[in-house]
Amino acid sequence: MQEVTRYIQTHRDDFERDLADLLRIASVSADSRQNSETRRAAEWVAGQFKQCGLAPEIIPTAGHPLVYAETPAVPGKPVALVYGHYDVQPPEPLDEWITPPFEPTVRNGNIHARGATDDKGQMLTHVKGVEAWLNSVGKLPIQVKFLIEGEEEVGSVNLAPFVERHREKLACNAIVISDSSQFAPGVPAITYGLRGIAYYELKLRGPKQDLHSGTFGGAITNPAGALATMLAALKDADGRIQVPGFYDEVLPLTDRERAEYRALPTTEEQFMQSVGVDGMFGEAGYTALERRWARPTCDINGLTSGYQGEWAKTVLPARASAKFSFRLVPNQDPKKISAALQKFLEARVPPGIQMELVDHHGAPGIVISLDSPYMRAATGAISAAFGRPPVFVREGGSIPIVNTFSRQLGADVLLLGWGQNDDNTHSPNEKFNLNDYHLGTLASACLWEEISRLPPTKQ
């Protein structure tokens, strides 16, 4: 392991140069005008594996290709699978970037570019960790497989079917994903839970067309009024969701979790300042962190009805609609929730209104056991690299592919984020701290060593 560490320490400039090379490629998966750039990013990643002496595959899909590579099998030792993505979000609005999104620039120890943290920089730590093993020791202590996709930012639509069809090829004991954040600068974290999602669009239709609100107002139900009333009914004054059975299968927070969250170095005042509000509200009986990480919620994502232009228009709108979503926690079932919601809303449709509930997509939440030996291995690796043990956090958002991996491969998922919360993911001036890049690379290299010391496991 000393040779590996030395390799990483003496190749910092090379690693940074390679990261900048990858960041110069405008692999915007949502933008078909950038298809050749996206392809070039896949080839660049494959090229990294080739340089280490591996035999990568570029696997075509209906969309952007997958890059697959693996180190030699190590009999009797666990197998790890690294998942990441080489595609990036669109860079717009361009005029808010201090330096252009595909011209990586280092300022204050951070490299700024679209994809710096999400996910090119974080993904590359694992590639560089393997390179360090292969170019110093000559082999890895366990087998590591890589599956790097190019469609994460457009919903990973082709990845789930691929995983289902190639369970043998991808067989592993642990799945390692670095596409999230540390708790704070200097406070590394392991994310052991993600919320699920159930996303809907409620469409109400009243009169056959928009009417004059003076001539007709009062005679019939206003669809926008009906929408407000139906949406308001979703929660009570204590922030509790009113759909019958909604909380029945919610996995409660343990006393240990609640105690650990309370011990984290953060305050609600800091949080309020960071988002710019002067007060907070949510489900009664829980802290804001508990509500974000471990309690289900309902948020309206969009409202549309009637006249939205300048000044005033006296219209009684024919239609009104809302996009809204529940964040789910284990063990809530999005299908059961959808059925209960449909019934709840149907019972509240006022006279003269037609309702349609569109079920956009759903995914359950997930929690990974803190007692998993792979979680302990990751804790050891991060402690060794960052000089302090990680805190254990959950994330309020969803990474739908985590459910697929967990279900299809039956392996523990390790979410080891090297980013920071202020990395401007999906926003202008995205950045990644170069020190975290090197510490993440070292932690990744250590992780294979830590895992190799675990007792053998059936695959």
Listed residue (434, 454, 453) closest to 122, CA to CA: 434
Choose the stretch contacting a second copy; rule: CB under 8 A; options: 102-110, 205-213, 336-344, 385-393. Answer: 205-213
Number of residues in contact with a second copy, rule: CB under 8 A?
101
Spatial separation of the C-alpha atoms in residues 224 and 315, rounded to whole Å: 11
CA dihedral (261, 435, 21, 54) positive or negative: negative
By CB under 8 A, tell whether 95 contacts a second copy: no
CA 243, 247, 250, 253: dihedral to nearest 10 degrees? 130
By CB under 8 A, tell whether 214 contacts a second copy: yes
CA dihedral (383, 385, 387, 388) positive or negative: negative
Q: Scan residues 392-451 and list those touching a second copy (CB under 8 A).
A: 395-398, 421, 424-429
Spatial separation of the C-alpha atoms in residues 149 and 153, rounded to whole Å: 10
Binds a second copy (CB under 8 A): choice among 225, 367, 370, 391: 225
Tell me whether residue 180 or residue 404 sits nearer to a second copy (CB atom). 180
Task: Supply φ then ψ for residue 351, to 5 degrees.
Answer: -55, 140
By CB under 8 A, tell whether 272 contacts a second copy: yes
By CB under 8 A, tell whether 282 contacts a second copy: yes
Binds a second copy (CB under 8 A): choice among 281, 285, 347, 369: 281
CB of 272 to a second copy, least distance (A): 8
Tell me whether residue 55 or residue 280 sits nearer to a second copy (CB atom). 280
By CB under 8 A, tell whether 299 contacts a second copy: yes
By CB under 8 A, tell whether 347 contacts a second copy: no
SS3 of residue 417 by DSSP = strand
By CB under 8 A, tell whether 92 contacts a second copy: yes
Q: Scan residues 369-398 and list those touching a second copy (CB under 8 A).
A: 395-398
Q: Scan residues 242-261 and list those touching a second copy (CB under 8 A).
A: none
Spatial separation of the C-alpha atoms in residues 435 and 441, rounded to whole Å: 10
Tell me whether residue 22 or residue 194 sits nearer to a second copy (CB atom). 194
- The site string for a second copy over 119-158 (x = CB under 8 A, - otherwise) reads -----------------------------------xx---
Tell me whether residue 69 or residue 322 sits nearer to a second copy (CB atom). 322
Spatial separation of the C-alpha atoms in residues 454 and 105, rounded to whole Å: 41
Binds a second copy (CB under 8 A): choice among 19, 130, 211, 384: 211
CB of 396 to a second copy, least distance (A): 5
Task: Supply φ then ψ for residue 178, to 5 degrees.
Answer: -115, 95
* Alpha carbon distances (Å) from 372 to 177, 187, 313, 407, 411: 16, 21, 60, 16, 10
Listed residue (211, 237, 236, 235) closest to 223, CA to CA: 211
CB of 424 to a second copy, least distance (A): 7
The helix-helix angle for 35-51 and 12-23 (nearest 10°) equals 160
